Amino acid sequence: MPDKQSSKVPVLTSETAVMAVIGDPIRHSKSPLMHNAALAASECDGVYTAFHVLPEQLGEAIAGMRALGIRGMNVTIPHKENVIAHLDQIDNHARMIGAVNTIVNDNGTLIGYNTDGPGYVRSLIEETGIDLEEARVLLIGAGGAARGLAYALLHGGVKQLVIANRTADRAERIVDELHSIGNIEATALIDGIPQVKPDQVDVIINTTSLGMHPNVEEMSVQASYLMPHMIVSDIIYNPLETKLLAAAKAVGARTHSGLGMFVYQGAIAFELWTGKKAPTEVMRDAVLRAMQEVR
């Protein structure tokens, strides 16, 4: 008689779609948990794992993906840029950003996508209900994450985008690249004060690492700049409530945490691999539960 335990063992066959995340380091990735919960909830014949791939092994890892017929991969630090050289096609968004976080193996053709920016925008819209076409957005930071978000926000039809960065030149460079897509300008961030009037800002998005564990006491924007009419968003999700978000709550502003970006970048990848709508609530719960267990 089969016992309860053995009836829970998933049946994996040569038909099972295999997905994985590759990165270095990779041990703490929440992607396997999130995606396996989504695959189970959607009754997909699929499994998602994680591989620790060193930079010098990236080419071999992608060759392995081809040889084994692995259906999909997520790509994380430090491989997002270097993986491009090993793929067959790059979608326009990922090409523009110069970074891939999702690979789809379409019958042997490896296609690279970037779901980070679109995932962030979908999360912001679905979780706050804002109308992007009416929103004046202030993006803090001008690194790779800011660039991806700026591109996705402009594509989403944002009314106005201002990029504020400590090194104003870097913000100017993003503006030079993207000004043909929409209404974008650069400004300086001086001692945590963006050089744009706060009453002209509806949404602030922190894309810097200030406030991320273990530097939880840092914030990119001074609390005195925050106003009650604003939505304040942080792409950091560890901790779930950064010091910036706590300060925003304290002045009566609405907040939006980085967990949504993580969930929705995964949701878009899931939809590319499976063709099914991602169960985003199941995914969010799985990540939240895992984060609470760590504490």
Q: Where on the chain is the footprint of ligand ATR (CB under 6 A)? A: 141-146, 165-167, 170, 207-210, 220
CB-neighbour burial class of residue 98 (10 A; exposed 0-12, middle 13-18, buried 19+): middle
Min CB(181)–ligand ATR separation in Å: 19
> For residues 95 and 170, which CB has a smaller minimum distance to ligand ATR in the complex?
170
Q: Which of 80, 197, 276, 277 is catalytic?
A: 80
> For residues 211 and 239, which CB has a smaller minimum distance to ligand ATR in the complex?
211
Cα–Cα distance measured from residue 125 to residue 118, given in angstroms and rounded to the nearest whole number: 11
Cα–Cα distance measured from residue 164 to residue 127, given in angstroms and rounded to the nearest whole number: 24
Pairing relationship of beta strands 46-52 and 102-106 according to DSSP bridges: unpaired
Min CB(124)–ligand ATR separation in Å: 17
> For residues 105 and 115, which CB has a smaller minimum distance to ligand ATR in the complex?
115
Min CB(43)–ligand ATR separation in Å: 36
> For residues 145 and 248, which CB has a smaller minimum distance to ligand ATR in the complex?
145
First to last CA, the chain: 39
The amino acid occupying position 52 is H
Structural contact between residues 220 and 206, judged by C-beta atoms closer than 8 angstroms: yes
Is 249 considered catalytic here? Answer: no
Closest CA to 210 of 235, 183, 174: 235
Min CB(240)–ligand ATR separation in Å: 19
Residue showing the smallest CB distance to ligand ATR in the complex = 143
Cβ neighbours of residue 223 closer than 8 Å, sequence gap 6 or more: 247, 250, 251
Token pair in block for residue 106? 């379409």
Residues designated as active site: 80
